[in-house]
Amino acid sequence: MNSGLDYSVHESSYIDEGVDVGAGTSIWHFCHVLSGSQIGKQCRIGQNVVIGPRAVIGNNVKIQNNVSVYEGVTLEDDVFCGPSVVFTNILTPRSAFPRNRSEDNLTTIVQRGASIGANATIVCGNTIGKHALIGAGSVVTRDVADHAIVYGNPAKQHGWACKCGLSLALEGDVTACSDCGRQYQQTAKGLVDHPCSLAV
């Protein structure tokens, strides 16, 4: 790993000019971070990861091996991407009619604390809600609610997840995690912290 920086980069990886990398971040073997991209603090970027150009990665994000985060994709703080997660960025690609402009890239946002399982595909133009959990091998074709557990092809909701990652049993509009004690109530956007939730 290269020294002299406040972040670590393996000697086999390339960081283009115009990239902002936060303190404490580690970038492992055979990665390429393209110009205009932003990577926050304390991130862990696995082997063979491509980021950008102009992609945005928040703080404390973990990206496992063989993931490409293209222009138009934003990963907020505390997001987890399992091995070989796929983000698309153009909805109707054609080799004979290349769409190479920034405005051709649809926006995909993975909100804070969400986790995406190995080999899942996230079709561009969608938002994955806070603390949502995407099952391995899923194909996400629409927005995902906060705290939703989704899986399948196409991905459909099968439950709710706590911030700590465990499944929640929803009774009426209110639920509590059996492990950490956090309490939630259901809204149109998904689950939100219940006013009486324990501070954990």
* pLDDT tens track for 134-144: 999 999 999 99
Interior/surface letters 17-37, b for 16+ CB within 10 angstroms, e for the rest: eebebbeebebbeebbbbebb
The one-letter amino acid code at 25 reads T
Count of residues for the chain? 200
Parallel, antiparallel, or unpaired for β 44-45 and 62-63?
parallel
Average pLDDT, the chain: 94
Each residue's pLDDT tens digit, 35-80: 999 999 999 999 999 999 999 999 999 999 999 999 999 999 999 9
Of the candidate ranges 39-43, 76-80, 110-114, 170-174, the one whose mean pLDDT is the lowest? 170-174
Find where tokens 């002299």 sit: 4
Q: Does 199 have pLDDT greater than 50?
A: no
State the pLDDT confidence band at 4, using cuts at 50, 70 and 90: low
Calculate mean pLDDT across residues 22-46.
98
Mapping DSSP to helix (H, G, I), strand (E, B) and coil, where does residue 122 land?
A: strand
DSSP code of residue 144 = B
Say what the pLDDT of residue 200 is: 44
Homologous superfamily, domain 8-166? Hexapeptide repeat proteins (2.160.10.10)
State the pLDDT confidence band at 101, using cuts at 50, 70 and 90: confident
Say what the pLDDT of residue 100 is: 79
Mapping DSSP to helix (H, G, I), strand (E, B) and coil, where does residue 59 land?
A: coil
Domain boundaries, the chain: 8-166
State the pLDDT confidence band at 198, using cuts at 50, 70 and 90: very low
